[in-house]
Amino acid sequence: MPSPSPFVIHDTRFQAILGETPTLELLAENKAYPFAHEAGVFIPERNELLITSNRIQDPDSPGGQRVQVTKVHLNNGFSTSIHSKTGAVKCEELTVPIPMANGGVNYKDGILICAQGSMDAPSGLYHMSTEPPYAATLLKSDFHGRPFNSVNDVIVHTDGSIWFTDPIYGHEQGYRPPPRLPNQVYRFDAESGSIRAMADGFGRPNGICFSPDETVVYVTDTDWIHGDGTTDDTRASSIYAFDLITRHNQPFLVNRRLFAMADSGIPDGIKCDLEGNVYSGCGDGVNVWSPGGELLGRILVDGGVANFCFGREGEMFLLNEHRLWRVKLAGGVKGALLRI
């Protein structure tokens, strides 16, 4: 009996996204630790991914925990340290001075990485080179002197401003001091040094992205699960949308509204395609909504997907903790971030 398809259609519009022959392929597996958790930054010039692991228990690390950053060389041999299912990737474990790295995004000649921090090292935004020796520079670690909690995810506007979320997961998970800021979304201007709080009222703000025309900001609230592992079905497991407007020559987020709710787990990482469809990593895989918040379909992955990124022409890379997957959708599907 054939296996059920991993592609579930809720609305016929999802068929155009899937194309005629969508595929889901296991690229790499690491049974030793959950190497494929966050970031998922595609570097098109070299056909590489930068990914960050989930927390690894390590008595030799500050607080007994650490995160591993891995560079995935696509279509280039295979790794002996991380099993490659297809022989199509090589996984290189990097040594970088970023405490508890998490979300990331392409930025200038490298990438931005969110550092969740430790008891001794600050949480904040790092600009990291994607080439050896992978130098990293701390750009911002505080809101007018009050340290960030545990910066989680980040996106860059075409005006150069950096937007990011800062939940309190680090303290709940035992590697950050007590929080000194609310669970908020921030905007940082690296040129002027200006830092502004842009949105509050979240349980645990997590993923963030712009619509293709940058008029809408989407933020996931993963309050359903707290850092101690407890869950509560009455807490938010939702995506909120905001309109990005200008007043007094400054950006503001207005018209907050519930865009969608994930029915399985939490909506973690979030991205848009060029048509404005919204994709989020959830407890059952990747869920896809129309710009109007209608659930179009799902890409089912056992164990769920924390984060993901688009590659080229309908290609997606899904981070499934111990496994890295590649999805091939219709060739016309392009991520709004890189537009390729």
Would you state the pLDDT for residue 63?
81
Tokens of 20: 């005629």
C-alpha 278: how far from its chain's center? 13
Q: What one-character-per-residue DSSP string does 17-44 give?
A: HH-SS-EEEEEEE-SSS--B-EEEEEET
Would you state the pLDDT for residue 82?
43
Would you state the pLDDT for residue 86?
47
> What pTM did the predictor assign?
0.96
Beta bridge partners of 205: 221
Distance in angstroms between the alpha carbons of the first and the last residue of the chain: 37
Q: Are strands 136-140 and 216-221 parallel, antiparallel or unpaired?
A: unpaired
Would you state the pLDDT for residue 87?
54
Sign of CA dihedral 47, 52, 57, 61: positive
C-alpha 307: how far from its chain's center? 5
| Nearest-angstrom CA–CA distance, 288 and 69 | 27
Q: Which domains does the chain have, with CATH numbers?
A: 7-328 (2.120.10.30)
Backbone angles phi, psi at 171, to 5 degrees: -70, -40
Would you state the pLDDT for residue 293?
98
- Model confidence pLDDT, tens digit, residues 164-204: 999 999 999 999 999 999 999 999 999 999 999 999 999 99
Beta bridge partners of 28: 84, 324
Are 128 and 136 within 8 A, CB to CB?
A: yes
Would you state the pLDDT for residue 75?
79
Are 201 and 185 within 8 A, CB to CB?
A: no
| Nearest-angstrom CA–CA distance, 91 and 134 | 16
How does pLDDT run along the chain (340 residues), one tens digit per residue?
557 899 999 999 999 999 999 999 999 999 999 999 999 999 999 999 999 999 999 998 888 999 999 999 997 533 333 444 445 799 999 999 999 999 999 999 999 999 999 999 999 999 999 999 999 999 999 999 999 999 999 999 999 999 999 999 999 999 999 999 999 999 999 999 999 999 999 999 999 999 999 999 999 999 999 999 999 999 999 999 999 999 999 999 999 999 999 999 999 999 999 999 999 999 999 999 999 999 999 999 999 999 999 999 999 999 999 999 999 999 999 999 999 9
Would you state the pLDDT for residue 1?
54
